[in-house]
Chain A
Amino acid sequence: MAPPRAREAVVPSPARTEPGTGTEPGTGPSTGPSTGTGPSTGAGPAPPRRLPLPPLIAALCLALVASLVCGAGLGASGLSWGEVLRHLWAGLSGGVISPDEVAAYTIVWELRFPRALLAAVVGAGLSAVGVAIQAMVRNALADPFTLGISSGAAIGANAVLIFGALGALGVWALSAAAFASALCAMILVYAVARTAQGLTPLRLVLTGTAMYYGFSAISTLMVFMAERGEAARSAMMWLLGSLAGATWASVPIAAGAVLAALGYLAVSARRLNALAMGDETAAALGVDAGRLRKELFLLAAAVTGAVVAVSGAIGFVGLMVPHAARMLVGADHRRVMAVAPLAGAVLLIWVDIASRTILAPTELPVGVLTAVIGVPCFLLLMRRRGYSFGGGA
């Protein structure tokens, strides 16, 4: 099994050339070295990089509702949109349906709609956690995987899928095992990364990444040792991410965790801005960086664990959606936190629709499709807009 993404460059770039931080003495003609992509000093106004927020959010909310409906409507069974909407309404309002429609109703309301809803929750959660983690470790390459939590969750999931652990818990076994092992991974990473000075960004990234490889190796070994081909296949599927197991039962816990996290991050957005400027600056602005980082770590671990438990290890979303959001609305976390979860939710609903329709009845791994759909979108966006997280472009 290959790791989901190349991750050879998680260490913050040593080659920062910010004016004022370089080691070379006597830098700086009066115009100063410019590290960004914007116009050089003294040139005209900056290009219009930031979209107005209210229309963008309105558009994303509309897109979210439309995507949820599409998620319930699109599929192999050939239901008409009228039927789909009627069944959705019946489900939402507790209405009555005739006995011959039970099959169609089940498809729409019991299978597709919770699945679309879960996709939205997972997409929003991964995106929000990605924003939080990138601010927490001030690293453009950080994402929910960086802390080693999702690969930790995979061990628990594999234990269930391959070796039939926790059989007594029935349908809950997979989620429970994934969440429990995510928590163990989190405690381990926290214990190792922590120093007398608290959690420092670089140590957190390095520890998380090292653990990621360790946990992945264990998962790989488990798949390798699996005797039954089908078990190995479903373990593989889980590692690449899948929403195929979605039921109404899996929605509440994940949705609760994600909504709580969104609320916390929304009121913490200003503190995230201060943290992104550096620990010293945060302190000078009245923000206890150490405590905030600890809170964010717990939040990231809990949300990642809850999300990964129901969807497997879906890559890319948590890494790229935050960047895409910043390209659209700038770096201010109050704006980013408003846009990224919505965009992530919409993206993942469509990725999931694609995963179950393109080669129906075979399902493609969601992790593969997030990359197939996301990478071109992301590269296009990056080329079209000046974006300089990381100080270069």
Chain B
Amino acid sequence: MRVDIDDLTVEIAGARLVEEVSLQVGSGQLVGLVGPNGSGKSTLLRCVYRALKPSAGVVRIGGDDLHALTVREGARRLAALPQEAATEFDFTVAEVVAMGRLPHQRSAARTTDEDRQVCERALARVGASHLADRGILTLSGGEKQRVLIARALAQRPQVLVLDEPTNHLDIAQQLEVLSLVRDSGLTALTSLHDLNLAAVHCDLLYVIQHGRIVGSGAPHDVLTAELLADVFGVRAHRVPHPESGAVQLLFDRLTAARPSSKESR
């Protein structure tokens, strides 16, 4: 199921956080959204998983206007891993995954065998079945992220939206999260900070700066030295990955002549 974002604009308290963004995610593609902090990545993604209503523009999912669907209907097609402070409530892993069934359940209905099977399979798919009875608060960052992916899978969605899913994870966990997303076969849209990870894992990249898309295409075509200098304020050298040939970036140390104090990685 494809996702098409057309001319999406978000204006909050007079500030235009996202301006006329258009973006396409083809069925089964993994599309990355990169850009400096504060460029509007999260704001854009929040519109896609319905935490925010855009001021203008349309998000289409499988051709239907997402915001014309009920929140529940939307959640049956699209699941998300928001970038959010984890809960303080001590739910078990099994309980957290079971929440993924919420959009499919009538409020007073009991949990069905099917619900339970879907949750067990989701947990097994991310290799976290052994964690089922653990408290979510006791998990490591990588384990928690796997559990949240299981919750998203339990939603049985066709589209997955992830907001910086690799934050605060060690390198093995980062690779694991992205390959889980890849292996799910779902249409996926994710924001990422690590450009080298994005270059290797994503089919397409969109670069966002000051709320506007300033570049898009295959990683090899998008991640040019000019764009990196322009958007992130860093000097980078492109090298091919020795095995896969994918574009990888090496960054120079910042010099005193750096124009602004723009944050970068």
User: Which residue numbers of A lie inside 8 Å of B, CB to CB?
Assistant: 16, 18-22, 26-41, 45-46, 49, 135, 138, 140, 196, 266-268, 270-271, 273-274, 276-281, 283-288, 326, 330-332, 387-391
Contacts and interface: CB of A to CB of B under 8 A. Distances in A.
A31 B173 CA distance: 11
Pick from B73, B161, B168, B169 the residue with the most CB of A within 10 Å: B168
A284 B80 contact: yes
B249 interface: no
Given A278-B82, A284-B51, A330 B137 contact: no
Contact of A34 (B87, B90, B140): B140
B138 A34 contact: yes
B140 A277 contact: no
- A contact patch SS: loop
B85 interface: yes
Interface residues of B, number: 57
B231 interface: no
Contacts, number: 185
Given A278-B87, A284-B50, A20 B141 contact: yes
Contacts of B251: none
B144 interface: yes
B246 to A, nearest CB: 24
B103 interface: yes
B99 A36 contact: no
B95 A27 contact: no
B75 to A, nearest CB: 3
Contacts of B108: 266-267
Contact of A16 (B46, B51, B85): B85
8 contacts: A18-B86, A20-B141, A22-B168, A28-B141, A33-B141, A270-B102, A276-B91, A277-B91
B88 interface: yes
Interface string B60-101: 000000000011111110111111111111111001100110
Contacts of B169: 20, 28
Nearest to A30: B170
B133 A46 contact: yes
A32 B139 contact: yes
A38 B168 CA distance: 21
A284 B137 contact: no
Contacts of A270: 99, 102, 105, 107
A324 B188 CA distance: 41
A274 B91 CA distance: 11
A32 B88 CA distance: 17
Contacts of A390: 88
A283 B13 CA distance: 22
